[in-house]
């Protein structure tokens, strides 16, 4: 049907209506109104039809736009390279083509394809999101930092929801983070709960006072105990309370054990009983603490019964601390409880408090005390070395039976002397600096046995500066010889008759009678001439005391004056010396032996022979036995006034160091008369 047919139908129908109106006799105005109604109805029908079709067109167009937009959104959610779907593209009108039915059909086919891919991707994302939510549900709601898709069974996802590969990567990383946090908190809960249960066991907590949920779920379902941060903080707080309780009990047990062990040591408890008590009381439960307290009470009762022993022990410790701190007697007397005879707990407590104070004081002064100890030790070694060096017998003494001689003793003494001379000034200097700083800091002197130790150091330094240097052994022959080195004197120890002289009687020796040369022990060595010689002052002054304080017998403490050397070939002194020697001992018979006259050659021969006899080992000779034998060679049991020849050797007479000598006749024979020096120094009574 076309428009011409419709127009013809309308014309035909209108013509038939006019004929009917004529036949009926309808008035003209009514006829016009009826025609107008007909035309209005016809126009309305046409317009309705037009409107309906127009609406259909708009609906199809909108559907096409909707499908196109959804397709583009799904494509953008599936691919990161797609543009933003919210952006209105002006190419939509161009994308919709006519006829609309064909356009809709193509769009629907494309939509189905994209929707299928979108649904597949969403299923993957939904499974991952469900897993993430299952772990994140045990954590805080704010812990997840990514937007999750709906995970309900029948839930639909918006086409604009991002399920691109980048989102899937982010979602996977977020899942990893959530899972790691979940695992960490699970492990934390398990560890903390296990520690709590262990602490309950160690503390001996009754089961009624424990948390049953922790015991039930900590191993298999720790998430039931809560994995939120508040839950973890609560578990940690509970653990810390138990740990603090354990520490308090351990401190208490440590104090009890230290006190008990101290009492065990003081009371002499056997080791077997100690081990048995410690083995049967382990841990830090209340029962263990009660056992320790009971044991302490028992030991305190024993201590009270033996209080006097503890006081004596404390006083011994107190005395050791006093000695270590170099306290004087006044400082010791300041602590009056140390001298109380009433034993009580208060007295013992006072001693223990004083001991603690002195130990703290010793710890504070430890560097100074160590320096003082070292300084006093060096002083003691120096004095012992000086005293030992004055004993000439130390180098000639023989060892006891089964002991060997010590040939390196002199070398060790020299090394010790060098070490002391090197170390002592440094120690004194450091000690002075330390003591001066200490006194400046505390404003009081540092006392050692009641005396200021700095004053002692200053006095020692002044004395060392004023003292003459120690004489060294000369390599060449000195200009002025000591009395024992004058050639006119024979070696008393090298001859068998030398000790028979009445002027050289044996002095009591500090060592055994046996010597290295199997001879009688010599006397103390003579003082050095260099040390003893003091030039005479023009005015009369008091004679100074000699610093060598050994036994001088009949010798006075006057100074030794310088004496010119004698003529070794002058035999006149022999007569005077014999007369002097005979003056101290009156024989019943005066020998008439002529005075020996020796030449220089014979003098050297005698000296060499004497040295050889010193080097060769000899038998031990008893001095008194030897004197009794020598009486056989003198008339009427008297002593020989002159040395006799020994084994075919001539022995020179023992000559004095100095003085005036003159020959005189005594009972028909010529003898020497020797006068002492002006200082009164003689050989009588002192040996070399």
Q: Which residues pair with 666 in a beta bridge?
A: 669
Query: How does the average pLDDT of the chain come out, rounded?
Result: 73
CB 501 within 8 A of CB 664: no
Please spell the DSSP secondary structure of 84-116, one letter per residue. PTTS--TTHHHH--SSHHHHHHHHHHHHHHHHH
CA-nearest of 344, 348, 399, 351 to 515 is 399
CB neighbour list of residue 513: distance below 8 Å, 6 or more residues apart: 520, 521, 620, 622
Q: Token pair 């940690």 is at which residue?
A: 236
| pLDDT score of 291 | 94
| pLDDT score of 434 | 93
The DSSP call for residue 646 is B
The DSSP call for residue 669 is E
pLDDT 10s digits, 303-329:
888 888 889 989 999 999 999 999 999
pLDDT (average), residues 624-631? 54
| pLDDT score of 194 | 93
pLDDT 10s digits, 635-650:
444 444 444 444 444 4
What span, in angstroms and rounded, lies between the C-alpha atoms of 238 and 229?
14
With b meaning 16 or more CB within 10 Å and e meaning fewer, what string describes 278-292?
Answer: eeebebbbeebbebb
What pLDDT band is residue 398 in, cutting at 50, 70 and 90? low
Residue 688 or 439, more confident: 439
| pLDDT score of 472 | 53
CB 227 within 8 A of CB 139: yes
pLDDT 10s digits, 593-604:
444 444 444 444
pLDDT 10s digits, 550-574:
343 433 333 344 444 444 444 444 4
CA 93 to chain centre: 89
Share of the chain above pLDDT 70, in %: 63
pLDDT 10s digits, 150-170:
877 777 778 888 888 888 899
| pLDDT score of 469 | 60
Q: What pTM did the predictor assign?
A: 0.43
Burial class of residue 163 in the structure, from the number of CB atoms within 10 Å of its CB (0-12 exposed, 13-18 middle, 19+ buried):
buried
Q: Token pair 């037009």 is at which residue?
A: 50
What pLDDT band is residue 468 in, cutting at 50, 70 and 90? low
CB 457 within 8 A of CB 432: yes
CATH topology of domain 366-398+408-466: Methane Monooxygenase Hydroxylase; Chain G, domain 1 (1.20.58)
pLDDT (average), residues 479-494? 39
pLDDT at position 300 over 50:
yes
| pLDDT score of 463 | 83
The interaxial angle of helices 307-324 and 229-267, nearest 10 deg, is 100
pLDDT at position 59 over 50:
yes
Residue 624 or 677, more confident: 624
What pLDDT band is residue 588 in, cutting at 50, 70 and 90? very low
| pLDDT score of 34 | 87
The interaxial angle of helices 3-24 and 28-78, nearest 10 deg, is 150
Q: What are phi and psi of 552, to 5 degrees?
A: -105, -5
Residue 227 or 546, more confident: 227
| pLDDT score of 151 | 78
| pLDDT score of 506 | 43
CA-nearest of 315, 313, 317, 327 to 365 is 327
pLDDT at position 431 over 80:
yes
Q: Which residues pair with 452 in a beta bridge?
A: 447
The DSSP call for residue 649 is B
pLDDT 10s digits, 512-537:
444 444 444 444 444 444 444 444 44
| pLDDT score of 17 | 85
Share of the chain above pLDDT 90, in %: 30
Angle (nearest 5°) at CA 585 between 580 and 586: 105
- Listed in order, the ranges of the chain carrying CATH 1.20.58.1520 are 366-398+408-466
CB 235 within 8 A of CB 192: yes
| pLDDT score of 273 | 94
């Amino acid at each position: 049907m076309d428009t011409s047919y419709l127009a013809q139908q309308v014309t035909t129908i209108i013509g038939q209506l006019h004929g009917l109106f004529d036949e009926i006799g309808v008035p003209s105005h009514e006829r016009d109104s009826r025609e107008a109604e007909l035309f209005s109805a016809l126009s309305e029908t046409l317009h309705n039809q037009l409107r309906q079709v127009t609406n259909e067109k708009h609906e199809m167009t909108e559907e096409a736009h909707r499908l196109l937009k959804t397709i583009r959104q799904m494509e953008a959610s599936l691919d990161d390279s797609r543009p933003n779907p919210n952006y209105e593209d002006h190419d939509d009108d161009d994308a919709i083509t006519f006829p609309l039915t064909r356009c809709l059909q193509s769009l629907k086919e494309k939509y189905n394809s994209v929707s299928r891919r979108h649904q597949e991707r969403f299923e993957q994302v939904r499974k991952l999101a469900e897993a993430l939510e299952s772990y994140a549900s045990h954590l805080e709601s704010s812990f997840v930092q990514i937007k999750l898709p709906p995970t309900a069974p029948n839930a639909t996802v918006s086409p604009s929801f991002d399920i691109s590969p980048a989102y899937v990567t982010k979602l996977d990383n977020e899942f990893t983070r959530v899972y790691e946090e979940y695992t960490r908190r699970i492990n934390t809960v398990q560890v903390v709960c296990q520690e709590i249960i262990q602490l309950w066991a160690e503390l001996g907590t009754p089961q009624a006072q424990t948390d049953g949920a922790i015991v039930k779920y900590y191993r298999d379902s720790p998430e039931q105990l809560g994995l939120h941060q508040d839950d973890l903080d609560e578990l940690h707080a509970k653990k810390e309370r138990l740990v603090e309780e354990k520490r308090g009990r351990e401190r208490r047990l440590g104090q009890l054990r230290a006190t008990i062990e101290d009492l065990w040591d003081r009371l002499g408890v056997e080791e077997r009983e100690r081990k048995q008590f410690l083995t049967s009381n382990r841990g830090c439960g209340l029962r263990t603490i009660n056992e320790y307290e009971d044991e302490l009470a028992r030991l305190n009762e024993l201590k009270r019964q033996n209080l006097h022993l503890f006081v004596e022990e404390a006083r011994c410790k107190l005395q050791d601390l006093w000695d270590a701190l170099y306290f004087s007697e006044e400082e010791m007397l300041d602590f009056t409880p140390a001298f109380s005879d009433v034993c009580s707990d208060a007295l013992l407590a006072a001693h223990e408090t004083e001991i603690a104070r002195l130990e703290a004081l010793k710890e504070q002064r430890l560097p100074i005390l160590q320096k003082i100890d070292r300084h006093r030790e060096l002083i003691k070694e120096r004095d012992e070395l000086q005293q030992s060096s004055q004993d000439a017998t130390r180098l000639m003494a023989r060892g006891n039976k089964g002991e060997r001689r010590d040939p390196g003793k002199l070398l060790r003494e020299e090394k010790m002397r060098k070490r002391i001379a090197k170390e002592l000034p440094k120690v004194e200097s450091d000690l002075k600096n330390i003591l001066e700083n200490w006194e400046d800091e505390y404003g009081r002197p540092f006392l050692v046995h009641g005396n200021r130790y700095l004053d002692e150091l200053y006095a020692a330094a002044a004395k060392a500066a004023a003292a003459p240097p120690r004489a060294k052994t000369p390599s060449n022959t000195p200009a002025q010889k000591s009395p024992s080195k004058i050639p006119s004197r024979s070696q008393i120890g090298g001859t068998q008759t030398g000790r028979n002289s009445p002027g050289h009687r044996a002095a009591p020796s500090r060592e055994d009678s046996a010597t290295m040369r199997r001879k009688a022990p010599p006397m103390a060595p003579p003082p050095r001439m260099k040390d003893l010689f003091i030039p005479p002052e023009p005015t009369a002054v008091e004679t100074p005391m000699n610093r060598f304080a050994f036994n001088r017998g009949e010798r006075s403490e006057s100074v030794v004056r310088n004496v010119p050397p004698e003529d070794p070939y002058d035999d006149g002194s022999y007569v005077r010396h014999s007369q002097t020697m005979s003056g101290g001992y009156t024989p019943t018979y005066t020998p008439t032996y002529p005075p020996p006259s020796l030449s220089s050659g014979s003098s050297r021969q005698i000296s060499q022979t004497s040295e050889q006899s010193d080097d060769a080992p000899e038998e031990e000779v008893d001095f008194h036995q030897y004197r009794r034998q020598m009486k056989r060679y003198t008339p009427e049991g008297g002593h020989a006034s002159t040395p006799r020849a020994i084994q075919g050797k001539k022995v020179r007479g023992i000559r004095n160091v100095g003085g005036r000598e003159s020959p005189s006749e005594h009972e028909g024979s010529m003898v020497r008369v020797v006068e002492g020096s002006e200082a009164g120094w003689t050989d009588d009574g002192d040996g070399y």
